[in-house]
């Protein structure tokens, strides 16, 4: 394998640049060229490629976002789009791909290999931490710290005005950000899509006469919560507790940006390097991850089809500490 391609796809996450840097530097160590592909699968189709050397990835480890840009490509879902992408890969002399992204990125690489035999290794880049095959995904730690910092600031004003704040964090299908930021931010309630009875439990907690009464409260809501978004839940809550002064804050895309934390920089560097060496060792259709502090390869199919669950111990801890 003499030349590999690297791209970022789907939602951006802090640490993607650190991962790109590790890919280029590890490839250079093994005397392999790297082609940077702009805008993910769409860049493959539109032939947006550039040669990356060690100098090109200098001074990027500390930046959020991705220097290769990212996009979601509807065209790559078609056989015609994948044919264009393959022809461009062939013309560029690319022997394998490192794909940094989430489930959709893995699914695209898996189909691409089955149709055209292009070897691919995935690196888990998503703030949601919802990918099977790794304890943590690139960007999750930074997103949680960003959310926690915002919660700390909102707590100050909630305390000053004796208000109940419903704070919505990202997590369309996953409650990891809500759970971790809720525990670390001292929330009195956490609502996640994985727990169907969480709103009922919240109501019981506020109705429980034996619970200590607080002058203010912070409730964290994952955006994919089954009861609805933070505004809908706050309206519902207000009808049951009319005496509370209630406010809603949606953190939104602030969670995607910012300088990656130490943990995300090390994780991204480790996985980017491992992705290159896995390709060079003949692996394909696998994603790299860290499980119990050990490097692990997981097939694309397992990563796509198996659902990563939140820890029941962590959920129980959140219930105990919110009392």
Share above pLDDT 70 across residues of the chain, in percent, rounded to a whole number: 98
Q: What is the pLDDT of residue 212?
A: 57
Rounded to two decimals, the pTM is: 0.95
Evaluate whether the domain defined by 143-256 bears CATH number 3.40.50.460: yes
All residues at 6 or more sequence positions from 57 whose CB lies less than 8 Å from its CB, including other chains: 17, 20, 21, 24, 25, 67
Q: Residue 223: is its pLDDT beyond 90?
A: yes
Task: Give the confidence band of 240 by pLDDT, cuts at 50, 70, 90.
Answer: very high
For the segment 229-251, the average pLDDT, to the nearest whole number, is: 95
Q: Report CA-CA distances (Å) from 80 to 76, 84, 103.
A: 8, 6, 22
For residues 167-184, average pLDDT: 95
Residue 31 has pLDDT above 60, yes or no: yes
pLDDT of 307 > 90? The answer is no
* The pLDDT value given to residue 9: 96
CA distance 183 to 191: 12
Find the mean pLDDT for residues 149-161.
95
Residue 149 appears among annotated catalytic residues: no
CA distance 58 to 323: 48
- What confidence tens digit (pLDDT) does each residue in 112-143 have? 999 999 999 999 999 999 999 999 999 999 99
Q: What pLDDT does residue 215 have? A: 77
Q: Identify the band that residue 151 occupies on the pLDDT scale cut at 50, 70 and 90.
A: very high
Q: Tell me the two tokens of residue 145.
A: 């710290």
Q: Where residue 294 falls among pLDDT bands split at 50, 70, 90? A: very high
HEC secondary structure over the chain:
CCEEEEEECCCCCCCHHHHHHHHHHHHHHCCCEEEEECCHHHHHHCCCEEEECHHHHCCCCCCCCCCCCCCCCCHHHCHHHHHHHHHHHHHHCCCEEEEEECHHHHHHHHHHHHHHCCCEEEEEECCCCCCCCCCCCECHHHHHHHHHHHHHHHHHHHHHHCCEEEEEECCCCCCHHHHHHHHHCCCCEEECCCCCCHHHHHHHHHHCCCCCCCCCEEEEEECCCCCCCHHHHHHHHHHHCCCCCEEEEECHHHHCCCCCCHHHHHHHHHHHHHHHHHHHCCCCCEEEEEECCEEEEEEHHHHHHCCCCCCHHHHHHHHHHCC
Domain layout of the chain by residue ranges = 3-139+260-305, 143-256
Q: From the candidates 110, 128, 198, 264, which is the catalytic residue?
A: 128
Average pLDDT value for residue range 162-170: 96
pLDDT of 208 reads: 81
pLDDT at 209: 67
Tell me if domain 3-139+260-305 and domain 143-256 are identical in fold. yes
pLDDT of residue 216: 87
Quote the pLDDT of residue 323. 72
pLDDT tens for each residue of 205-216: 888 866 656 778
**Which CATH class for the 3-139+260-305 domain?**
alpha beta
């Amino acid at each position: 394998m003499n030349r590999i391609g690297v791209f970022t796809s789907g939602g951006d996450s802090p640490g993607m640049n650190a991962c790109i840097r590790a890919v280029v530097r590890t490839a250079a160590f093994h005397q392999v060229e790297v082609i940077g592909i702009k805008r993910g699968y769409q860049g493959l189709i539109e032939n947006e490629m550039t040669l990356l050397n060690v100098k090109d990835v200098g001074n990027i480890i500390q930046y959020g976002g991705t220097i290769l840009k990212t996009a979601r490509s509807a065209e790559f879902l078609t056989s015609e789009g994948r044919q264009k992408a393959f022809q461009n890969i062939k013309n560029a002399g690319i022997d394998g791909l490192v794909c940094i992204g989430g489930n959709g990125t893995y699914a695209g690489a898996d189909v691409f290999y089955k149709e055209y035999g292009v070897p691919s290794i995935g690196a888990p880049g998503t703030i949601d931490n919802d990918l099977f095959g790794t304890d943590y995904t690139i960007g999750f730690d930074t997103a949680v710290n960003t959310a926690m910092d915002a919660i700390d600031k909102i707590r100050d004003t909630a305390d000053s005005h004796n208000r109940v704040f419903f704070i919505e964090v990202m997590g369309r299908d996953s409650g990891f950000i809500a759970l971790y930021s809720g525990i670390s931010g001292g929330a009195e309630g956490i609502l996640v899509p994985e727990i169907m009875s969480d709103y009922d439990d919240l109501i019981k907690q506020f109705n429980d006469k034996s619970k200590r009464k607080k002058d203010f409260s912070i409730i964290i809501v994952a955006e994919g919560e089954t009861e609805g978004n933070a505004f809908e839940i706050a309206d519902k809550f207000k009808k049951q507790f009319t005496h509370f002064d209630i406010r809603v804050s949606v953190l939104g895309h602030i969670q995607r940006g910012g300088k990656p934390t130490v943990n995300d920089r090390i994780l991204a560097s480790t996985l980017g390097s491992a992705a290159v060496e896995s390709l060079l060792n003949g692996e394909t259709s696998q994603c790299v991850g860290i499980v119990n502090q050990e490097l692990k390869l997981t097939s694309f199919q397992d990563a796509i089809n198996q659902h990563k669950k939140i820890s029941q111990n962590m959920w129980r801890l959140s219930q105990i500490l919110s009392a």
